[in-house]
Amino acid sequence: RDPNQMDRLTETYSLKIKVSHATIRGLKFLGNPLSNNWHACIERVGKDLDDLLVTQCMFAGDPDALNIYCPAIATGDRFVVDHCIFYNCHTSAVYWDGLEGITSKGCAMRYSIVYGGLIAGPWTCRTAEDFEFHHNIITRCEYFWMRKPGDSQRYRIRDCILTDNRYYSGYGVASGPTGQTGPEVTFNEKNVINKGDVVLEKNKTARSYLHVVPGSPGSDLGAGLISK
């Protein structure tokens, strides 16, 4: 890098996917390779792309140092996040604008844990209302849900734990949140718990590291890397 440009923001990516029908399974992503850098672990951006499954992956950032800005971001149809953990990242999964204004269909986030999101849990942008969102735990985030300004889709949420988030729903652009949504945005919720302190296993040697401890809200959802 040019030493005269060290104060400028950079972008890096761990995996850039340019094809349809891809699965990323069982990987652990830790932190960020550079300071003052927007790091995305998994990116799929392109025209007419379909079917990306991110499953059984862990994304662990450091909010005070080299953090992960965007663990997973994709355009196109059937971007599915399943049984993943997002710990102290800026966001979790970003369902980005389809190219040429195309609405993305068949996307999902399920059985995942988002803890300490510096911006939000899921971030939707021109994502169809068939978005599948269930058996997730979103806690200690700035916003529970972020969306593109002007988007007012009504998404279904079921069987989730959504606690200790500073704000519920907000609008945002690439550089960050622009404010809370208003009455134009509502969700269709079923079996959603908004109270309780979610406790994660912090012992790094434990098989259940960063999973919900027994007896804590959400311990019976089957969220995280370990399927029940």
Summarised one tens digit per residue, pLDDT across range 11-69 is 899 999 999 999 999 999 998 878 788 899 999 998 889 999 999 999 998 766 678 99
- Choose between 39 and 114: higher pLDDT: 114
Give the span between the Cα atoms of 89 and 62, in whole angstroms: 7
The whole-model pTM stands at 0.92
> What's the average model confidence in pLDDT over 69-96?
95
Single-letter residue type at 31: G
Mean per-residue pLDDT of the chain: 91
Give the span between the Cα atoms of 173 and 100, in whole angstroms: 18
Beta strands in 18-89 (DSSP E): 22-25, 28-30, 37-44, 50-55, 58-60, 70-74, 77-82, 85-87
According to DSSP, residue 151 is labeled: -
Q: Is the pLDDT of residue 4 over 60?
A: no
Give the span between the Cα atoms of 40 and 73, in whole angstroms: 7
Report the share of the chain in percent with pLDDT over 70: 93
Q: Is the pLDDT of residue 194 over 80?
A: yes
